[in-house]
Amino acid sequence: MNRVYNFSAGPSMLPESVLKKAADEMLSYEGCGMSVMEMSHRSKVYESIIYGAEELLRELMNIPEDYYVFFLQGGASSQFSMIPMNLMNKNNKADFVITGQWAKKAFSEASRYGQTRKVASSEDAVFNYIPKLDKSMFDPEADYVHITHNNTIYGTRYTSLPDTGKVPLIADVSSDILSEVIDVSKFGLIYAGAQKNMAPAGLTVVIVKKDLVGNAMDFTPVMLNYATHVKDRSMYNTPPTYCIYIMKLVLEWLKGLGGVPAMQKINEEKASVLYNFLDSSDMFKGTVVKEDRSMMNVPFVCPTEELNAKFVAEAIGAGFVNLKGHRTVGGMRASIYNAMPREGVVKLVEFMKDFETKNK
C-alpha cells in the first residue's frame, strides 16, 4: 500500500503508528470485545479513555490546575458564539485583532452579543503579516481580547503575545496547538478544532480559566454554557467518542517523541527546510513577511497561474497531495503539521527544485 504525503490544511494527516494501532484495536479495544465506536461513553472502559486523554493533554501542555479542559463538538466555529455568551458578561465589550478569515468570523459572531472593536487588522495586505500591538491599544474595560494564534489560510503566526493587561486573552489555536510550547497561564481561554494536530474532525478542545466560568448570559442554551460541561466533565451528552480515543493515541505518540519541546524542535527544522528553499528559489516565493511566518502552514506562489496549476497537477502525480492554496491567496499551501515527517518536507523541496529546473 502506497501512502501519499498529505499537505491538507485540515482534516490533516495523522501519525502512521496511530492509524496502525487504531486499526489493530478496531474490533476489540484492549481485549474488551468491542470497538471504541460501539462502547457506551458511560462505561468504565471509556472513562479511562476520555479521562486519560485529559490527563495526557494537561501533562503535555503543562495546564495549570485552575483551568478546566472540555472536549466538545461543533468545531472551533461553535466557540465564536460560546465565548461571548460565557465571557462577554461584565461590560459587554470585547476587542479583536483581525488577521484572517477565522478572526473575521469570530468578530462577526461576537458582534451579535455585545460591543466589539477591531483593535488592528492586516487585511490591507491580504493578511500576510501580524499587526504590531501595544498595551495602550486595548480597552481595559473589555471583557476579553481575541486573537487567532496561527492563521491557517494565510500562513502567519504570533511569535509573541500581546500585552492585554488584566483583560483575559482568548486565542484560537486550532492550527498550531501542541506544535510549540505555549504558556497556558498567559490566556484566559484557548480553543482548537482537533482536525489539524490532534485527531479527526469532530472534536473541539477548550481550555479555560476556572474563574471565567459560571456567569453565562441568561439566554445561553444549556449545551453552550461552559458550566454545563464543568458539571458533567464533557459528558453532558454523548461526546465524540472515537475522536477522543484517536486524540489519546496521538497524545501518547507525542509524549513518546519527547513531548511538545521535542515536537517544536522537529517543526522548526521542517519549516526551515521549506522556507530556506523558498528564500533561495527564483520561481517559488513565500507570501508572508518573514518575521510572522507560520511553522504549520506555508503558502507560496509561482510567477504565473499557469505554473501554479501545472505544479499542483504534477505534485499530485508524484504523491504530494492537497497543495492547492486557498482561493483568497491562490498558489499553493503546504500544511506541515506535527504528523508530517521531516522526510515529507525534504522530498517536497526536492520535487520543487526539479520542477523549477524543468520549467525555467
Same-domain pairing of 157 and 193: yes
**Contact present, 106 and 80 (Cβ < 8 Å):** yes
Catalytic residue (choose from 95, 143, 176, 196): 196
Taking the C-alpha atoms of residue 5 and residue 318, their distance in angstroms, rounded to an integer, is 9
Domain span holding position 311: 5-12+259-358
pLDDT score at 258: 98
Q: Which one from 172, 248, 270, 292 is the annotated catalytic residue?
A: 172
Identify which of 264, 255, 296 has the alpha carbon closest to the alpha carbon of residue 58: 255
> In sequence order, what are the residues at sequence separation of 6 or more whose Cβ sits closer than 8 angstroms to the Cβ of residue 233?
51
What's the whole-model pTM score?
A: 0.96
Please say which residue of 230, 256, 282 terminates a domain: 256
Question: Which of 256, 279, 304 is at the close of a domain?
Answer: 256
Q: Please, what's the largest Cα pairwise distance for the chain?
A: 64
If asked whether residues 168 and 109 sit together in one domain, one would say: yes
Read off the pLDDT of residues 98-114 as tens digits, 9 standing for 90 and up: 999 999 999 999 999 99
102 catalytically annotated: yes
User: Residue 171 above 90 pLDDT?
Assistant: yes
Whether residues 203 and 281 share a domain: the answer is no
Contact 151, 100 (CB under 8 A): yes
Section 116-140 average pLDDT: 97
Q: What is the CATH number of the domain that holds 309?
A: 3.90.1150.10
Q: What span, in angstroms and rounded, lies between the C-alpha atoms of 242 and 252? A: 15
Model pLDDT, residue 2 = 86
- Of residues 216 and 1, the one with the higher pLDDT is 216
Same domain, 310 and 228: no
Is 222 a residue whose pLDDT tops 70? yes
Domain boundary among 223, 256, 289: 256
Q: Is the pLDDT of residue 297 over 90?
A: yes
What integer pLDDT is reported at residue 61 of this predicted model?
Answer: 98
Residue 74 — left, alpha, or beta (φ > 0 → left; ψ -120 to 50 → alpha)? left
Q: What is the pLDDT of residues 10-60, one digit of tens each?
A: 999 999 999 999 999 999 999 999 999 999 999 999 999 999 999 999 999
Using the predicted structure, report yes or no on whether residue 360 has a pLDDT greater than 90.
no
Q: Report the domain count for the chain.
A: 2
Is the pLDDT score of 204 beyond 70? Answer: yes
The answer to whether residues 170 and 199 belong to one domain is yes
Type and span of the H or E element at 352: helix 342-358
Question: Position of cell 530556506?
Answer: 276
What's at 57, amino acid-wise? L
pLDDT of residue 141 exceeding 70: yes
The pLDDT score that the predictor gives to residue 327 is 86
Chain segment 263-278, per-residue pLDDT in tens: 999 999 999 999 999 9
Helix or strand holding residue 273 (H, E): helix 259-280
Nearest Cα neighbor of 255 from 17, 44, 12, 6 is 17
Question: Given pLDDT bands bounded at 50, 70 and 90, which one contains residue 135?
Answer: very high
Do 268 and 243 have their domain in common? no
Q: Which residues contact 32 (CB under 8 A, 6 or more apart)?
A: 39, 45
Residue 310 known to be catalytic: no
Q: Characterize the bridge pairing of strands 189-193 and 169-172.
A: parallel
Contact 191, 76 (CB under 8 A): yes
Same domain, 40 and 173: yes
Q: What is the mean pLDDT of residues 306-316?
A: 97
Q: Is the domain of 269 the same as that of 202? A: no
pLDDT tens-place string over residues 55-113: 999 999 999 999 999 999 999 999 999 999 999 999 999 999 999 999 999 999 999 99
The reply to whether 32 and 172 lie within a common domain is yes
Report residue 38 as a C-alpha cell. Answer: 460501539
Residue 298 and residue 333 in contact, taking contact as beta carbons nearer than 8 Å:
yes
Q: Is the predicted pLDDT of residue 1 greater than 70, yes or no?
A: no
Asked if 298 and 215 sit in the same domain, the reply is: no
- Give the model's pLDDT for residue 328: 83
Q: Is 104 a catalytic residue?
A: no
CATH number at residue 59: 3.40.640.10
Set 95, 102, 143, 324: catalytic member: 102
Same domain, 231 and 268: no
Specify the pLDDT at position 265: 98
Quickly state the pLDDT bin for 329 (edges 50, 70, 90). confident
Q: Are residues 201 and 246 in the same domain?
A: yes
